[in-house]
Amino acid sequence: MQRSIIAIDPGIGSTGWAYWEARAGRVPTAVGLVREGSDGEWQDRAFYQARRLMNELPNRNDVDFYCEMPIFFAGTTGGIASVGTGSLQKLCFYIGCVRALTAFFYKYSDFHPVLVRDWKGQLPKKIVNKRIVQLLGAANCEDFKVDIWDAVGIGLWAKGVFK
């Protein structure tokens, strides 16, 4: 039996998501973007953003979640800087909130962490977006912005389409 797919590109500032119904083809059934929007300590903002994400996602019980997991790239200055600022730790905390809430709100769901290197390797964002447009057609990508592009890419990878 095919299951619905929800792909998530998590970010502290914004999170993109894409949803495919169980029998959907390549084009996502729905997409969305959740931005951070509360006051308080970073951990409270992360949890609030995760709750807002759950409120936006389609309410299905038999879902396979595919969520990008951060990876530390020691050879890049951005990787070293992210560890020094705590950004990587905060993102991991946020993903933990998302994971906990998916288990709470979605019965019979499975959560699959996806490493960046597994779904897109070292492809730059422009190339990833171009491949997605080639796979789905420009008209189907008009609503994609910011983190939605990567969420769609993760979902296409989960469906075995994005290689």
According to the model, what pLDDT value does residue 130 have?
97
In a domain, 75, yes or no: yes
**What is the chain's pLDDT, residue by residue, as a tens digit (163 residues)?**
679 999 999 998 899 999 999 989 999 999 999 998 777 899 999 999 999 999 999 987 789 999 999 876 555 555 444 455 788 899 999 999 999 999 999 988 999 999 999 999 989 999 999 999 999 999 999 999 999 999 999 999 999 999 8
- Check residue 86 and give its pLDDT: 84
Q: What was the pLDDT predicted at 63?
A: 93
> Who contacts 86 (Cβ-Cβ below 8 Å, separation ≥6)?
none
Residue 14 in domain: yes
Residue type, 33: L
Structural domain for 73, as ranges: 4-158
Q: Which residue has the tokens 């807002």?
A: 52
Domain annotation covers residue 54: yes
Contacting residues for 114 by C-beta, under 8 A, at least 6 apart: 66, 67, 68, 69, 154, 157, 158
Does residue 114 lie within any of the structural domains? yes
State the pLDDT at residue 84.
58
- Indicate whether 93 belongs to any domain: yes
- Output the domain CATH number for residue 25: 3.30.420.10
Q: What angle do CA 24, 134, 72 make, to 5 degrees?
A: 85
Length of the chain: 163
Cα separation, 70 vs 91, whole angstroms: 8
Residue 10: the pLDDT is 97
Does the residue 72 lie in any domain?
Answer: yes
Q: Give domain status of residue 163, yes or no.
A: no
132 in a structural domain: yes
The number of distinct structural domains making up the chain is 1
**What are the CB-based long-range contacts (under 8 Å, 24+) for 93-100?**
93/43, 93/46, 94/10, 94/12, 94/46, 94/49, 94/50, 95/10, 95/67, 95/69, 95/70, 97/46, 97/47, 97/49, 97/50, 98/8, 98/10, 98/15, 98/50, 98/53, 98/67, 99/67
Alpha-carbon distance 88 to 81, whole Å? 9
